[in-house]
Structure 1
Protein backbone atom coordinates (compact mmCIF):
# COMPACT_ATOMS: atom_id res chain seq x y z
CA UNK A 1 0.00 0.00 0.00
CA UNK A 2 1.53 3.38 -0.98
CA UNK A 3 2.25 5.86 1.79
CA UNK A 4 1.67 9.59 1.24
CA UNK A 5 4.28 11.63 3.03
CA UNK A 6 4.24 15.35 3.60
CA UNK A 7 7.73 16.58 2.78
CA UNK A 8 9.37 20.00 2.96
CA UNK A 9 7.01 22.91 3.36
CA UNK A 10 4.20 23.64 5.77
CA UNK A 11 3.23 20.71 7.99
CA UNK A 12 -0.30 19.38 7.59
CA UNK A 13 -2.79 20.60 10.18
CA UNK A 14 -6.09 19.49 11.67
CA UNK A 15 -9.10 21.45 12.94
CA UNK A 16 -7.65 21.67 16.45
CA UNK A 17 -4.58 23.60 15.24
CA UNK A 18 -6.10 26.98 16.10
CA UNK A 19 -4.03 28.19 19.07
CA UNK A 20 -3.00 31.86 18.74
CA UNK A 21 0.78 32.44 18.67
CA UNK A 22 1.34 28.66 18.31
CA UNK A 23 -0.58 27.67 15.16
CA UNK A 24 -1.85 31.09 14.09
CA UNK A 25 0.80 33.80 13.99
CA UNK A 26 0.11 37.54 13.62
CA UNK A 27 -0.43 38.64 10.03
CA UNK A 28 -1.65 41.70 8.18
CA UNK A 29 -3.62 44.53 9.68
CA UNK A 30 -6.87 44.26 11.65
CA UNK A 31 -9.58 46.85 11.02
CA UNK A 32 -12.27 45.42 13.30
CA UNK A 33 -13.56 48.00 15.79
CA UNK A 34 -14.28 45.06 18.15
CA UNK A 35 -10.50 44.57 18.54
CA UNK A 36 -9.40 46.56 21.62
CA UNK A 37 -6.15 47.73 20.00
CA UNK A 38 -8.03 49.01 16.92
CA UNK A 39 -10.63 50.68 19.13
CA UNK A 40 -7.92 52.41 21.20
CA UNK A 41 -5.99 53.58 18.12
CA UNK A 42 -9.21 54.80 16.51
CA UNK A 43 -10.16 56.73 19.66
CA UNK A 44 -6.69 58.27 19.78
CA UNK A 45 -7.14 59.33 16.13
CA UNK A 46 -10.38 61.15 17.06
CA UNK A 47 -12.64 58.51 15.52
CA UNK A 48 -10.72 57.85 12.30
CA UNK A 49 -10.56 54.07 11.82
CA UNK A 50 -6.95 53.10 12.50
CA UNK A 51 -6.02 49.50 11.64
CA UNK A 52 -3.52 47.80 13.92
CA UNK A 53 -1.33 44.71 13.46
CA UNK A 54 -3.32 41.48 13.59
CA UNK A 55 -3.04 39.56 16.85
CA UNK A 56 -5.26 36.51 16.29
CA UNK A 57 -7.88 35.70 18.91
CA UNK A 58 -9.08 32.27 17.86
CA UNK A 59 -10.95 30.39 20.57
CA UNK A 60 -12.78 27.74 18.54
CA UNK A 61 -11.54 25.05 16.11
CA UNK A 62 -11.41 25.40 12.34
CA UNK A 63 -14.52 24.32 10.43
CA UNK A 64 -15.45 22.21 8.64
CA UNK A 65 -12.23 20.28 7.93
CA UNK A 66 -12.16 17.08 5.92
CA UNK A 67 -13.98 14.18 7.61
CA UNK A 68 -12.43 11.75 5.08
CA UNK A 69 -8.85 12.56 6.16
CA UNK A 70 -7.86 12.40 9.82
CA UNK A 71 -4.62 13.78 11.27
CA UNK A 72 -4.08 12.99 14.92
CA UNK A 73 -7.63 11.63 15.07
CA UNK A 74 -9.17 14.94 13.94
CA UNK A 75 -10.34 16.14 10.48
CA UNK A 76 -7.52 17.60 8.37
CA UNK A 77 -7.68 21.18 7.13
CA UNK A 78 -8.41 21.80 3.48
CA UNK A 79 -8.79 24.92 1.36
CA UNK A 80 -12.44 25.27 2.41
CA UNK A 81 -11.66 25.37 6.13
CA UNK A 82 -12.35 28.64 7.98
CA UNK A 83 -11.35 29.91 11.42
CA UNK A 84 -13.34 32.61 13.20
CA UNK A 85 -11.52 35.37 15.06
CA UNK A 86 -13.12 36.70 18.25
CA UNK A 87 -12.83 40.22 16.81
CA UNK A 88 -15.18 39.34 13.93
CA UNK A 89 -12.75 38.30 11.19
CA UNK A 90 -12.56 35.05 9.26
CA UNK A 91 -9.24 33.32 8.56
CA UNK A 92 -8.99 30.98 5.59
CA UNK A 93 -6.39 28.89 3.78
CA UNK A 94 -4.99 31.05 0.98
CA UNK A 95 -2.28 28.58 -0.02
CA UNK A 96 -1.99 25.11 1.47
CA UNK A 97 1.82 25.40 1.61
CA UNK A 98 2.38 21.96 0.09
CA UNK A 99 1.09 20.30 -3.02
CA UNK A 100 2.12 16.67 -2.41
CA UNK A 101 -1.18 15.51 -0.90
CA UNK A 102 -4.65 16.68 -1.96
CA UNK A 103 -7.14 16.74 0.94
CA UNK A 104 -10.76 16.42 -0.23
Structure 2
Protein backbone atom coordinates (compact mmCIF):
# COMPACT_ATOMS: atom_id res chain seq x y z
CA UNK A 1 0.00 0.00 0.00
CA UNK A 2 1.27 3.46 -0.89
CA UNK A 3 1.89 6.26 1.63
CA UNK A 4 1.13 9.96 1.26
CA UNK A 5 4.26 12.03 0.59
CA UNK A 6 4.78 15.18 2.62
CA UNK A 7 7.42 17.80 3.28
CA UNK A 8 10.69 16.19 4.34
CA UNK A 9 10.32 12.99 2.31
CA UNK A 10 13.72 11.56 1.38
CA UNK A 11 14.53 11.16 -2.33
CA UNK A 12 17.35 9.74 -4.40
CA UNK A 13 18.34 10.25 -8.04
CA UNK A 14 19.94 7.49 -10.10
CA UNK A 15 22.74 9.89 -11.15
CA UNK A 16 23.01 11.87 -7.90
CA UNK A 17 25.56 11.04 -5.23
CA UNK A 18 23.58 12.15 -2.16
CA UNK A 19 19.93 11.96 -1.02
CA UNK A 20 17.75 15.04 -0.85
CA UNK A 21 14.51 16.02 0.90
CA UNK A 22 11.30 17.14 -0.79
CA UNK A 23 10.17 20.70 -0.07
CA UNK A 24 6.40 21.22 -0.13
CA UNK A 25 4.95 24.72 0.06
CA UNK A 26 1.63 24.94 1.97
CA UNK A 27 -0.29 26.11 -1.13
CA UNK A 28 -2.64 23.06 -1.12
CA UNK A 29 -3.69 23.78 2.48
CA UNK A 30 -3.57 20.06 3.38
CA UNK A 31 -1.37 18.69 6.15
CA UNK A 32 -0.29 15.04 6.47
CA UNK A 33 0.77 14.14 10.01
CA UNK A 34 1.98 17.71 10.55
CA UNK A 35 3.88 18.88 7.45
CA UNK A 36 2.23 19.97 4.17
CA UNK A 37 1.07 17.13 1.88
CA UNK A 38 2.37 16.97 -1.70
CA UNK A 39 0.66 16.50 -5.04
CA UNK A 40 2.14 15.55 -8.43
CA UNK A 41 2.77 19.20 -9.33
CA UNK A 42 5.37 19.57 -6.57
CA UNK A 43 8.20 18.91 -9.03
CA UNK A 44 9.77 22.36 -9.49
CA UNK A 45 13.60 22.20 -9.48
CA UNK A 46 15.28 23.87 -6.50
CA UNK A 47 11.88 24.97 -5.09
CA UNK A 48 10.53 21.43 -4.48
CA UNK A 49 13.44 19.20 -5.55
CA UNK A 50 16.78 20.36 -4.12
CA UNK A 51 20.08 19.15 -5.65
CA UNK A 52 21.43 15.64 -5.05
CA UNK A 53 25.02 16.65 -4.37
CA UNK A 54 26.98 15.89 -7.54
CA UNK A 55 25.67 14.63 -10.91
CA UNK A 56 27.24 11.71 -12.82
CA UNK A 57 25.05 11.86 -15.97
CA UNK A 58 26.87 12.36 -19.27
CA UNK A 59 23.61 13.86 -20.59
CA UNK A 60 24.23 16.81 -18.27
CA UNK A 61 26.19 19.38 -20.33
CA UNK A 62 28.30 20.42 -17.33
CA UNK A 63 29.38 16.81 -16.68
CA UNK A 64 30.06 16.22 -20.39
CA UNK A 65 32.22 19.36 -20.63
CA UNK A 66 34.18 18.55 -17.46
CA UNK A 67 34.68 14.96 -18.62
CA UNK A 68 35.93 16.14 -22.03
CA UNK A 69 38.32 18.55 -20.32
CA UNK A 70 39.62 15.65 -18.18
CA UNK A 71 40.40 13.66 -21.37
CA UNK A 72 37.46 11.26 -20.94
CA UNK A 73 37.68 10.57 -17.21
CA UNK A 74 34.16 10.89 -15.77
CA UNK A 75 34.09 14.13 -13.79
CA UNK A 76 30.96 14.71 -11.67
CA UNK A 77 29.67 18.26 -11.46
CA UNK A 78 27.20 19.94 -9.05
CA UNK A 79 23.66 18.65 -9.44
CA UNK A 80 21.04 21.08 -10.70
CA UNK A 81 17.80 19.09 -11.19
CA UNK A 82 15.86 19.82 -14.38
CA UNK A 83 12.40 18.29 -13.90
CA UNK A 84 10.03 19.65 -16.52
CA UNK A 85 7.29 17.02 -16.11
CA UNK A 86 5.20 16.26 -13.00
CA UNK A 87 5.59 13.18 -10.82
CA UNK A 88 4.15 10.00 -12.34
CA UNK A 89 1.59 8.58 -11.47
CA UNK A 90 0.50 9.78 -8.10
CA UNK A 91 -2.80 8.69 -6.58
CA UNK A 92 -5.52 9.47 -9.16
CA UNK A 93 -8.34 8.79 -6.68
CA UNK A 94 -7.07 11.26 -4.06
CA UNK A 95 -6.97 14.93 -5.07
CA UNK A 96 -5.00 17.70 -3.33
CA UNK A 97 -5.46 21.13 -4.89
CA UNK A 98 -7.33 19.53 -7.84
CA UNK A 99 -4.31 17.35 -8.69
CA UNK A 100 -3.54 13.73 -7.73
CA UNK A 101 -1.86 13.31 -4.36
CA UNK A 102 1.80 12.28 -4.44
CA UNK A 103 2.53 8.80 -3.12
CA UNK A 104 5.84 7.15 -2.30
CA UNK A 105 5.68 4.92 -5.42
CA UNK A 106 5.76 7.91 -7.81
CA UNK A 107 8.78 8.80 -9.93
CA UNK A 108 9.99 12.05 -11.49
CA UNK A 109 12.39 12.13 -14.44
CA UNK A 110 15.22 14.61 -14.74
CA UNK A 111 16.02 15.92 -18.22
CA UNK A 112 19.58 14.65 -17.71
CA UNK A 113 18.33 11.05 -17.52
CA UNK A 114 18.04 10.51 -13.79
CA UNK A 115 15.00 8.90 -12.18
CA UNK A 116 14.03 10.47 -8.86
CA UNK A 117 12.31 8.16 -6.37
CA UNK A 118 11.37 8.22 -2.69
CA UNK A 119 13.19 6.28 0.01
CA UNK A 120 10.88 7.56 2.78
CA UNK A 121 7.47 9.21 2.39
CA UNK A 122 7.63 11.68 5.25
CA UNK A 123 4.48 10.10 6.70
CA UNK A 124 4.01 6.84 8.58
CA UNK A 125 0.28 6.44 9.17
CA UNK A 126 -1.29 8.17 6.15
CA UNK A 127 -1.95 5.49 3.51
CA UNK A 128 -3.43 6.03 0.05
CA UNK A 129 -5.82 3.36 -1.29
Length-normalised TM-score, structure 1: 0.86
2:46 to 21, 25, 34: 21
Indicate whether 1:60 and 2:85 are aligned: yes
Indicate whether 1:7 and 2:33 are aligned: yes
Structure 1 residues not aligned, in runs of 5+: none
Length-normalised TM-score, structure 2: 0.71
2:118 maps to 93
Q: How far apart are 1:99 and its partner, in Å?
A: 1.5
SS of structure 2 residue aligned to 1:27: coil
Distance 1:61 1:5, change over 3 A: closer
Conserved? CA contact 2:33–2:126, under 8 Å: no
Q: Which 4+ stretches in 1 moved above 3 angstroms?
A: none
- RMSD of aligned C-alpha atoms? 1.7
Q: Which has the higher contact order (CA 8 A, sep 6+)?
A: 2
In terms of fraction of residues, the more strand-rich structure is: 2
Q: How far apart are 1:7 and its partner, in Å?
A: 3.3
Q: 1-side partners of 2:34 and 2:67: how far apart?
A: 42
